[in-house]
Structure 1
Amino acid sequence: MTIFRKNFLLTTLLISITFISCSSDDATELLGNWTKMSSFDGPARSNATSFVIGDFAYVTTGYTGDEYLNDLWAYNSTGDYWEQKAAFTGPARSAASAFAMDLKGYVGLGYDGTNKLKDFYQYDPIANSWTQKADFGGSARYSAVGFQVSGKAYFGTGYDGNYLKDFYQYNSTTDSWTLVSGFGGNKRRNATVFVIDDKAYLGTGVNSGVNQTDFWVFDPNTEAWTKKRDLDDDEDDHDTYLITRSNAVAFSMNGLGYIACGEYSKTIWEYNPTTDLWNEKTALEGSARTDAIGFAINQRGFVLLGKSGTSYFDDAWEFKPLEEQSDDDN
């Protein structure tokens, strides 16, 4: 064999080894597994709202593509099944907002197909009954966020014909609303919020057709908003973030926050409040979707419902961030 032939074969072998090595390094798989749970028993829908009390998640309102809804369903997380409860007594609607406080659920705002709404209702799971409460203190709107943190509950942002950034606190003792300190971020609707260690983290959403990139934390003790790393940040030698979106869902568990789906996406990102950094996890193993709902029950995270084009979903998924992806549990 000639020297040229030997050198050629050696060079080819080294190139092949280098290519295989680089390919292996680049093929790092994302961590996280999705398990398909009991399908939602009510009609498939988008733009529903939910709140969690104890071991149960309550899902109400929404839109099927043909009608607005006011039914109420309770998900038993220990038994993995659904039960129908007393229907929401306000007008049927979509894009409402909700929170839970003092072992009761609260639902308000939204859109009924004609009107933007500001009515507000309390659900008592023991009595399985609804009571109308004082109207929301701001303008009638839809696609706002609702959350409870450190025993204080809030509605804010949304759309009333204009994009909004105001926040109001609800006092259940006096059944009244109070405008709270101004939010320093941009106006938006269809944002997401999750709560970690008595602080609320808000981001995503859209303003005049532009997805918002700013991300904020709210401290209810000082009523102060503090800006965190932008959702499209690509500095400091970490991976470029692709979190920016609207109509997504959010929840928190085990001291970490999660933003998933939205605008027909199926990706999910995990937020660490200690480092102010995000980490991409295994994408939803169901269909990509927008206008879904997400919640956590006893440190277990769930994503369900939503739509893609004219298809509306009734499937439900649990996300397990520490497990490797498996197709055997779906």
Structure 2
Amino acid sequence: MSAVRGAHIAVKLGNEKVLVSGGDGGSGYLNTADLYDPIANTWTAVSPMNFKRCDHVASILSNGSVFVAGGSSGTDLATAEIYNPTTNTWTNTSSMSVARYSPTISVLSNGKILVAGGNHGGSFSNVADLYDPSTGTWAVTGSMNCARFGHAAAVLSNGNVLVTGGCAANSIAEIYDVSTETWTVTGSMMSIRQYHTTSQLTNGTVLVAGGIISTSTYLNSAELY
């Protein structure tokens, strides 16, 4: 890549190229972005973001553009912007209701984007926002039952969203109902987890793996929902 970076984001575009943006360059946060071409096996620097971002979130929009939100530039960010691969430009869109880094991002079946939790002002957040790409606007939706940071999210086969972990010393999980815009507790995981992964399997179950309980306790366990 054109720069060393950690806590950055990678998104695969419709043309199979991969856009990497932001992160921590070791001597400061970055707004730079690179594009990887798997056929040529080369990296190309593209236009930088309008904001330096670390620990932000990103997703692909239906038109092939890349949506990026939140993160930290030294201060928490509520801003969001969109990258157009055709024009190689970033355009600011409206901002979330709260500034945050390391939330979860989920693309819903109705095309809206759910951003939930994260770290806001040094505290865990339970706030969730919905972004509507068709209008370029955010709306506050139902708040999670638990404030979460270092959590993970998975869109279930029925279109609802499962959120796990990151809930202080609690292992409860909860589900966001897209039709009612509400959260419901759905039992507890076998282990308290933070910074774990979730993967939806072809049979509809969700694999939750690894993570930490504390800075000194790392997990190799996995469980199925």
Give your verdict on TM over 0.5.
yes
Structure 2 residue aligned with 1:275:
180
Structure 2 residue aligned with 1:220:
133
**Deviation sequence 1:278-305 (CA, Å, 0-9, x none):** 23234333x4332334454666644445
Residues 157 and 187 in structure 1, CA contact (< 8 A), matched pair in contact too: yes
Structure 1 residue aligned with 2:10:
98
Structure 2 residue aligned with 1:164:
77
Could you tell me how far 1:134 is from its partner in structure 2?
1.7
After superposition, residues 213-252 of structure 1 pair within 5 angstroms as 213-231=126-144, 241=145, 243-252=146-155
Q: What CA distance in whole angstroms lies between the structure 2 residues aligned with 1:200 and 1:300?
A: 22
Residues 19 and 34 in structure 2, CA contact (< 8 A), matched pair in contact too: yes
After superposition, residues 141-156 of structure 1 pair within 5 angstroms as 141-151=53-63, 152-156=65-69
After superposition, residues 1-330 of structure 1 pair within 5 angstroms as 89=1, 91-102=3-14, 103-124=16-37, 127=39, 129-151=41-63, 152-183=65-96, 185-197=97-109, 198-231=111-144, 241=145, 243-254=146-157, 255-262=159-166, 263=168, 265-285=170-190, 287-296=191-200, 301-307=206-212, 308-313=214-219, 315=220, 317=222, 319-320=224-225
Identity across matched positions, percent: 22
More helix by share: 1
Aligned residue pairs, count: 218
Q: What CA distance in whole angstroms lies between the structure 1 residues aligned with 2:23 and 2:126?
A: 24
SS of the equivalent of 2:70 reads strand
Residues 264 and 290 in structure 1, CA contact (< 8 A), matched pair in contact too: no
Q: CA RMSD in A?
A: 2.7
Gaps of 5+ in 1: 1-88, 232-240, 321-330
Counterpart of 1:252, as a letter, is: V
Larger radius of gyration: 1
Gaps of 5+ in 2: none
Distance 1:296 1:149, change over 3 A: farther
Q: What CA distance in whole angstroms lies between the structure 2 residues aligned with 1:229 and 1:196?
A: 15
* TM-score normalised by L of structure 1: 0.58
Q: What CA distance in whole angstroms lies between the structure 2 residues aligned with 1:265 and 1:109?
A: 31
Q: What CA distance in whole angstroms lies between the structure 1 residues aligned with 2:198 and 2:8?
A: 14
Could you tell me how far 1:91 is from its partner in structure 2?
4.5
Could you tell me how far 1:204 is from its partner in structure 2?
0.5
* TM-score normalised by L of structure 2: 0.82
